[in-house]
Amino acid sequence: MDRLDNTVRPYAWGSPTAIPQLLGTEPTGEPQAEMWMGAHPGAPSRTARGTLADVIDADPEKELGAAAVARFGPRLPFLLKLLAASAPLSLQVHPDLTQAREGYADEERRGIPADAPHRNYKDANHKPELICALTEFDGLCGFRAPLEAAALLDGLGVDSLKPYVDLLHAHPEDAALREVLTAILTADREEMTRTVEEAAAACTRLGGAYAPYADIAHHYPGDPGVIAAMLLNHVRLQPGEALYLGAGVPHAYLDGLGVEIMANSDNVLRCGLTPKHVDVPELLRIVRFHAADPGVLRPEAAPDGEEVYETPIDEFRLSRYVLAEAGGPRDLTRATPQILLCTAGTVRAGEHELAPGRSVFVPAGEKAEVSGSGTLFRATVVV
């Protein structure tokens, strides 16, 4: 087992206190948004043997197991994070695997530099993700039913929103959602800024179901994404609950601390709530205009006290153990690579004692016995 030394990313939307409080360290005064655990080239975890990326590159089959290498290639296929938001992240979607491969190949053919601000596809992989709340966690996930979105917009009493309200009453529903999102993102910018300002004032005045959108508008004044956000389901997760974000599902995290796991990709198409590039035609090609319940996940009991967050993809599998001294040690040995993350109490993993926020990498097939009293998240793959 390798104890991990992980990088914290200081994105502007991050909480200055949530991750330091979990780690038991002093806040720096700067935002601390994400702590990365894995072998992503942008910030690979460090071990006593070198970076985790270097360790895996030196002997992929030993570290990942032959089955995982055959299935996903010679790299760790997931990235695990602690994510702490105190302001909304960008409203975004991720492509499916076919779209990512096609988009990446197209931008490579056209010679768009990898670091160009208008580049959409940084790699040829999809980016499904799962967020599990450690505190109350607010987010937006998937489209509301169009009539529900129409009622929310109509309740603001803003005349310039009436055309959107009318469109949302049209059929079929997927076409109505497409038309409205297209209209929002292609509207005259000055007119949209005035609409957002009026809507924000109404959200502040009305409160209740409108309060999340007042807060979004406070952070992103005049941004068309404020209106687009009102087309989506607002979700408040309780600790231990989770959301799975599949391809084409528009979403944004708003506030809270959670454990996030995703396929190892940087492919993001933004809808708003950002100063970054918004490629409207490509976005509309990727978004799935389907209204649905956001589908809050709760862990399902598995043998030996494991609680699994079931998802339909294989690049990652997230579960947790709530350990007690009286329960004795648990054998977590698997034929696949694992990252174990403590989020509460004190857990012993092999020779390593893990306090909250501390983690280890367990190579495929290596003995992984854990004990103690606390909460342990386990990230691995399905082969």
> Catalytic residue positions?
270
- The 3-state DSSP class for residue 182 equals helix
Phi, then psi, of 74 in degrees rounded to 5 = -85, 50
Give every CB contact of residue 354 below 8 A, 6+ residues apart in sequence.
Answer: 340, 341, 342, 346, 347, 348, 360, 374, 376
**Cα 227 from Cα 181, distance rounded (Å):** 9
Q: Cis peptide before 172, with omega less than 30 degrees from 0?
A: yes
Q: Cis peptide before 212, with omega less than 30 degrees from 0?
A: no
- Evaluate the CA torsion angle 298, 301, 302, 304 in order and state its sign: positive
129: β partners: 245, 262
Cβ neighbours of 350 (radius 10 Å): 18
**Cα 83 from Cα 88, distance rounded (Å):** 12
Cβ neighbours of 285 (radius 10 Å): 13
Amino acid letter for position 225: G
Burial class (CB within 10 angstroms; exposed 0-12, middle 13-18, buried 19+) of 141? buried
Nearest in space to 196 (alpha carbons), one of 166, 235, 163, 156: 156
**Cα 25 from Cα 22, distance rounded (Å):** 8
- CA 210 to the chain's CA centroid: 23
Place of tokens 């990230």: 379
H or E segment at 189?
A: helix 189-206
Burial class (CB within 10 angstroms; exposed 0-12, middle 13-18, buried 19+) of 127? buried
**Cα 291 from Cα 358, distance rounded (Å):** 39
